[in-house]
Structure 1
Amino acid sequence: MAMCPLCNGFDSYETRCASCGSLMLDGGKATDFLDDYSAYMDIDVLKLVDGDLNSLAENICLHMFSCPLCQQDQMVVVKE
């Protein structure tokens, strides 16, 4: 079973906002934003609806990063 290094705190990732250059904050898995209960659902099931058709097969986790200054959001692909 593959595990996301960001979700499990094994690693960190830094990226800068394309609009203003500020350091963006990791908001967690993109699927956690689907509804109030998606954070508690099976990860493999959620990968079927995360917006990437191959995320389950390729063992990747999509993370939502947001800029605290200009409020821009960015999806980052993380290899599990």
Structure 2
Amino acid sequence: MYVCLVCNGMEVIKRNCTHCDNKMVDEGRVINQFDDYAPYMDDETTKLVDGDIYSKHKHLCLHLLKCSTCDYYLQAAVEEKYIT
């Protein structure tokens, strides 16, 4: 099974804003921003509508990052790891 280590609290995304170089905050998966029930939907199904046509096949989890200073948003693709 492939899992996102960021979603499961085992890793943290550390990225600076491309506009002002301040720290960005992980707002969670991009798909979770669409709907109140999105976090409860099947991950493989939601990858079909997350905005990246290859995320399912390449095992990527798209996260939304927000700059805490200038409110700039950025998407970050996190590679999921295979866990046995």
- What is the TM-score when the length of structure 1 is the normalising length? 0.96
Aligned identity (percent) is 38
Matched with 1:9 is 9
The structure richer in strand per residue is 2
Matched with 1:74 is 74
Secondary structure of 1:31's aligned partner: helix
Matched with 2:63 is 63
Q: Which runs of 5+ in 2 are unaligned?
A: none
RMSD: 0.6
Aligned 1:25-64 pairs, distance under 5 A: 25-64=25-64
Aligned equivalents of 2:13, 2:46: Cα separation in 1: 22
Q: Which runs of 5+ in 1 are unaligned?
A: none
Cα deviations by residue, 1:48-80 (Å, 9 ceiling, x for unpaired): 000111111110000000011110000001000
